[in-house]
Every structure is written in structure tokens, then in C-alpha cells.
Amino acid sequence: MEEIERLFEIYLKQYDLEDEKLRQKKLHSYRVMELSKKIAESLQLSEEDIFLAQVIGLLHDIGRFEQLHTYHSYRDSNLDHGKYGSKYLKESNFLEQLPIPKELRPIIISAVGNHNQHRLEPSFDERTKLHAKIIRDADKIDIFRSIIERPSREDTLSITKEVEDSFYQEKSIMIDSVKTNMDFVLVRLSFLFDINFLYTFQEFQKEQLLERYYQSITHKDIVKPYYEFTRNYLERKLEEESLC
């Protein structure tokens, strides 16, 4: 991975890493790389697939840097960072510089492009689908760790019915349906409904990520039933996986 990390650092030199958002995004990329490796190892994948998971983990947010540089915002309505990253990797010579077999490049491009989408493209072959799921899980773990450290805004206490309906159907919530700050709380809790692997569920339990997030919330009385619903979902999934 050393050569790939070196080329990634060269790519980043065009951006001002003194900017705190850009600096944090770089650190996030390396953390997700390590999480992707651990998930792949937990699945007992081949050395090539573990390596591939790491590459995707490091590059998954390559489109974020241009998004933040241009728009100073994480809003994908301005620039979809997953699609932009996928387009960049496809049209530039970046992947050609990497010590990666040519046949693996389409998997990287597809996984990067789909890591932030509401649903995976149904046309993916099994290997591409596997790696897209790995990066989505790894990303969620690190994002959830990060939001615990930031105080949530709960100045609008209502919850949109469409958001609540999706939540209780155990579906990840479409960001377009979010209208209030409290809706965002449910979006974060609904991360659990789009988890794919036992390792990820175990990390949420081991690090008490749900509990810590709930404790960071000001209006616990409003959030409590949703928190308990998600916690029960986590416990159920861990029990189901342990029986497999």
C-alpha cells in the first residue's frame, strides 16, 4: 500500500490541507482504509481482495476534496462526491499509475461511485457488490465515531412523517426527505439498517456507538423510542448472525 499512499498524497498536494475540513477528510480516508481491511479480513477474503478493499477505502472520498475546495460544503446537491470521484478515477490516469491489476480498476471505480448512494446499482457482479458493501460499512463506522464527537443541532424538534415511516420500516432514510434537524438524528440512527457485515455490528456494540450517540443528544425524551428501536435492531442482528 505504500506506493498507493504516496500517490494519494501527491494528489492531495493540490489542496490546502491547512483547511480543517480537508485535513479531517484526509484522516478519515486513512481510517476507512484500515476499517475496510479489518472487514475484509473478518470475511476471510483473499490477499488480493483485502488489498483491494484497502485501496477502495483510501480512495472512496477522493471526490470530497474537490467538493470542499470548490463549494466549501459537504452537500452532494452541489457536487455528488461519490459520482465525481468515480468519474475522476475513470477519466484521469490516476489508477494507471497504481500497482493494481487492470481488471480491478472497474471494481474500484464502481465502489467509489456507489459508496454514498442510497442503493447499490443492481447490475453489479458479486465481487463488485461485495467491495461496495465493505466500503459502505467501513465509512459508516468512522462517520458514526465522528458525529459522537460533534454536538448535534436539535433546534427543530419535529420529525417528518416520511422520515419516521422509513425509520420504522427499517430502511435507510433518503436525504431528500429530511426537513428538520431532528430528522437528521433519525438518519444517523438508520445507518444501522444499511449495515452488511457482522464485524460492523460488533464494532457498534463493542464501542457502544449507539449509546454514546444517544447520550450526546439534548432532547433524549424525543429520541428515546427511536434509539431503543435501533438498539433492539442491533441486538437482533447480532443474535441472528451468531446463529449462522
pLDDT tens by residue, 105-144: 999 999 999 999 988 989 999 999 999 999 999 999 999 9
pTM of the model: 0.93
CA neighbours within 13 Å on the CB side: how many for 122? 0
In this structure, which topology does domain 1-150 adopt according to CATH?
Hypothetical protein af1432 (1.10.3210)
Spatial separation of the C-alpha atoms in residues 179 and 156, rounded to whole Å? 9
Residue 68 confidence class, pLDDT cut points 50, 70, 90:
confident
| Contact call for residues 137 and 32 (beta carbons, < 8 A) | no
Residue 155 confidence class, pLDDT cut points 50, 70, 90:
low
Higher local confidence (pLDDT), 232 or 120: 232
**Residue type present at position 94:** F
Spatial separation of the C-alpha atoms in residues 153 and 182, rounded to whole Å? 8
pLDDT tens by residue, 166-184: 999 999 998 888 999 899 9
Extract the runs of DSSP E, i.e. beta strands, from the chain.
none
Q: Which residue ranges make up each domain of the chain?
A: 1-150, 152-244
